[in-house]
Structure 1
Amino acid sequence: MLTDNVIMERLRQSNTEFRELEESHHRLDLELNDLQRRHVLTPAEELSKKQLQKEKLAKKDKMAEMIRVYRDHGLQATAH
């Protein structure tokens, strides 16, 4: 059975959407880290932080879904 890391590497190499999701997720993470380093956030920054967190989670969920689909497809291919 393939590990998530192996599947992720294969998706990075073969799937543009996965690469873009991963890059975007990383950029959002950096933006969130910048906001979290501040001691006090303005209301607008708090709102931005929450939106970034939601967007980051959505991208992570989509990547996890792609990994599941890849794993399921791989298992079906080896079962036949």
Structure 2
Amino acid sequence: MTNDQAVREVLLQQDEEYRRLSLQHEGYETRLRELTGHLYPTGDDQLEKARLKKMKLQVKDQMEGILRRHLTPRLVVNSATAES
């Protein structure tokens, strides 16, 4: 397990905002899979897919921002320790 994955696991357990965003992301992904499974998608289906992809990306960006905030202090501490 990489450091990023370990931090993600901790965030899922301890950070309410990260957990909420993760559930939202999963919901968008589930709905996208449903729409992709339609044999003959309608125009509305295609519009919804485009909207969901944008929303999913926004949520992913927010999750990555939270992850970066949790990783950055560790990187600074680790590099300062390595220089000593």
TM value normalised by structure 2: 0.83
Unaligned runs of 5+ in 2: none
**Cα distance in structure 2, aligned partners of 1:77 and 1:70:** 12
TM value normalised by structure 1: 0.87
Unaligned runs of 5+ in 1: none
Higher deviation after alignment, 26-35 or 64-73: 64-73
Distance apart, 1:30 and its partner CA: 0.5
**Cα distance in structure 1, aligned partners of 2:12 and 2:38:** 33
**Cα distance in structure 2, aligned partners of 1:63 and 1:75:** 18
Aligned position for 1:19: 19
- Give the alignment's Cα RMSD to 1 decimal: 1.6
Aligned position for 2:51: 51
Distance apart, 1:69 and its partner CA: 1.1
> Which contiguous aligned blocks of 4+ residues in structure 1 show a shift greater than 4 angstroms?
none
Question: How many equivalent residue pairs?
Answer: 79
Give 1:37's aligned amino acid.
G
Give 2:32's aligned amino acid.
L
**Cα distance in structure 2, aligned partners of 1:7 and 1:19:** 12
Distance apart, 1:60 and its partner CA: 0.9
